[in-house]
Amino acid sequence: MTEEMNPTNEREPNAAGQGPQPKEKLSFRQMYRKLLQLDDTPHSIALGAALGMFITFTPTVGIQVLIVLILSMVVRFNRFAAIVLIYLSNPVTIIPIYYADYVIGLFVQGESGLSLEEFVLLWDQSVITAGEVGFWGATQVLFKSLGTDVIIPMFIGGGVLGGFVGVVTYPLTLSWVQRYREGRQGDNHQDS
């Protein structure tokens, strides 16, 4: 994640190397504005945003950027737009997203499962166990400790929820980018 998009309030030295300076935090509105200003076609930006939203709602945290990069070898879309939006899945939002995936997956399968409290407890225990090994080992431990009874519904629900959010994101983003550019062109004509 770039320095300017880092949502934390960490401090690091300024350009002159003098003392720690607060990192700039971008709000969702600022990130949205950056998306509108990307130098690419409206279709490419909208497709990147839609794919980023789809990936955000799948249980693939930790490899989401890799998924964007692999997809970009097959389909042309704005990678930056996708990467900005996958950061919506973060330590604060991951439990609500993954639990929604899980519940939707259970619904699609016609099954019942864990309550939110049970899901959070299982997740926390899995993360603690996974934190004792490296990244790939942690991913394996996390998936093993959650078990197929949780992982399969999460992937099914993530596909459904991510697909829905991605489909909605594309026309909205396309419209927003087009309107933004039309407004900018109108401003440029008035200046001449």
Whether 169 and 50 have beta carbons less than 8 Å apart is answered as yes
Give 111-164 pLDDT, tens digit per residue: 999 999 999 988 888 877 777 776 667 777 777 778 888 999 999 999 999 999
Residues 35-63: what's their mean pLDDT?
90
Q: What are the residue ranges spanned by the domains of the chain?
A: 3-7+27-180
Whether the Cβ atoms of residue 18 and residue 156 lie closer than 8 Å to each other: no
Q: Report the pLDDT value the prediction gives residue 26, as an integer from 0 to 100.
A: 60
At 45 the pLDDT is: 94
**pTM for the whole thing?**
0.76
Residue with tokens 């409206």: 42
**pLDDT of 191 strictly over 60:** no
Q: What is the pLDDT of residue 190?
A: 56
Q: Is residue 21 scored above 90 in pLDDT?
A: no
| pLDDT attached to residue 5 | 40
What is the pLDDT of the chain when averaged over all its residues? 81
Q: Where are the beta strands (DSSP E) in the chain?
A: 11-13, 20-22
* pLDDT for the residue 89: 78
Nearest-angstrom CA–CA distance, 180 and 74: 28
Residue 1: pLDDT above 60? no
Contact 82, 31 (CB under 8 A): no
